[in-house]
Structure 1
Amino acid sequence: MFSDDQVRQAQRLAEVVHRHQVRDHGVPYIEHPQTVVHWLSVWQPHRKDLHIVGWLHDTLEDGDNPDVIAQQIQQLFGSEILHHVQKLTKPWVAYPARYPRVPPQSVIEAYWDQLVAAPPINLVKWADRLSNLNDLSHASPDKQRRYAMRTWRDFFQRTWVGIPADVSHQVYHALQPFLVSGTASHNAKGVSDR
């Protein structure tokens, strides 16, 4: 069982890792994990482990040295939290020297497949996608469409069955404005009816 103090400790670590980063639309990057934790607090208010992972979910991808950050996470929160953060980490982003510039499709598929098999940790990814979708209004129309389609194809369609209906509805409705007309509605009859 994790405490509020440990959640604050995760927040402080995220603030250090993301301190010089900004989102595409100019706001401090730390607002993104803060939004992720907000959604996790709404959906799972008593799951402090998810809140910790929410704060840390991008630290391995965005930090200067993911191996050092992983050691810090291990020391502060234990191997289970580290394992969850690693599951949420795109390895080709955290460790670019280990992968070609464009990672093989098999690596990308393996990433999404292991997230599908990781409830409730995949709720962190749902909150991450919802936060990013809500920030897309600042992106170019092409980026909006590509991100929404990847969210729909790679994540939403694979994981929505095991997710609480209120969560899947929030993400589905955030996706709708960005999807090409008819793409989502044809493939998601069960989602909108849940």
Structure 2
Amino acid sequence: MRDSDRFAARLIGKATDEQMRLIMKAYRFAKEAHRGQLRDGGGRYFEHPKAVALILMDELAHYDPEMIMAALLHDVLEDRPDIPWQEIENNFGKGTYRLVRIMTKERGLSAEQEREYFSGFLFLDWRERVVKLCDRLHNIRTLCDCTRRKQRRYLKETYEVFVPLAEKTHPYLYAELCKACARAETALV
């Protein structure tokens, strides 16, 4: 069974045919958009957004189509500036576009702008926070693939921004983020 078929099988009974069609369209769109891109550890980049969507479905049992599509598409606009914002909205709807837009961190932010970006997370709605936290959880779980400098920066950001956000948002994500950070810190020593 192909990877995409296994992914689609998770949606049976959880999504309508139209929702499944759109989610799988987002799956293919993200996979194509990230073609040739690699994660820090050398693996295919698409495995990251797919893993974020799987955290939503397998660990949280959330099957909101817009959240799943946003998880799949969340890095497309950040990593592919040649893809216009409107393409996400036109293909996947305003709700998915809004989630993706919120998750997209602009490149080249100053330290002050980055603090403002992170502080804005407290004002996001529940769905936006959950997708962002699933993204951070997967990044922390795979942090060992990054340079030590990046690991330290990610852990600092996570403790300062994402752990408090998770505590206010979702008990499971809070517990998992704390465990993942502890494992990452242990591996750093």
- Normalising by structure 2, we get a TM-score of 0.81
Runs of at least 5 residues in structure 2 that lack an aligned partner in the other structure: 1-15
Do the aligned residues in 2 keep the contact of 1:50 with 1:124 (CA within 8 Å)?
yes
In structure 2, C-alpha distance between the alignment counterparts of 1:129 and 1:161, rounded to whole Å: 14
- Normalising by structure 1, we get a TM-score of 0.79
- Report deviation, 1:77: 1.6
* CA deviations over 1:53-111 (Å, ceiling 9, x no partner): 00010011001414x2x1111111222211111111112x2xxxxxxx4x233321222
Do the aligned residues in 2 keep the contact of 1:145 with 1:178 (CA within 8 Å)?
no
In structure 1, C-alpha distance between the alignment counterparts of 2:88 and 2:144, rounded to whole Å: 33
Do the aligned residues in 2 keep the contact of 1:149 with 1:179 (CA within 8 Å)?
no
Amino acid at match of 2:128: I
Identity within the alignment, %: 26
| Aligned equivalent of 2:65 | 48
- Report deviation, 1:123: 1.0
In structure 1, C-alpha distance between the alignment counterparts of 2:63 and 2:166, rounded to whole Å: 22
Q: 2:79 aligns with which of 41, 55, 62?
A: 62
Amino acid at match of 1:23: R
* CA deviations over 1:142-178 (Å, ceiling 9, x no partner): 3222211111113222x12332211210111001133
In structure 1, C-alpha distance between the alignment counterparts of 2:141 and 2:30, rounded to whole Å: 21
Residue 146 (structure 1) aligned with residue 162 (structure 2): no
Residue 176 (structure 1) aligned with residue 182 (structure 2): yes
- Report deviation, 1:133: 1.1
In structure 1, C-alpha distance between the alignment counterparts of 2:146 and 2:104, rounded to whole Å: 23
Residue 105 (structure 1) aligned with residue 111 (structure 2): yes
Runs of at least 5 residues in structure 1 that lack an aligned partner in the other structure: 94-100, 181-194
In structure 2, C-alpha distance between the alignment counterparts of 1:45 and 1:155, rounded to whole Å: 20
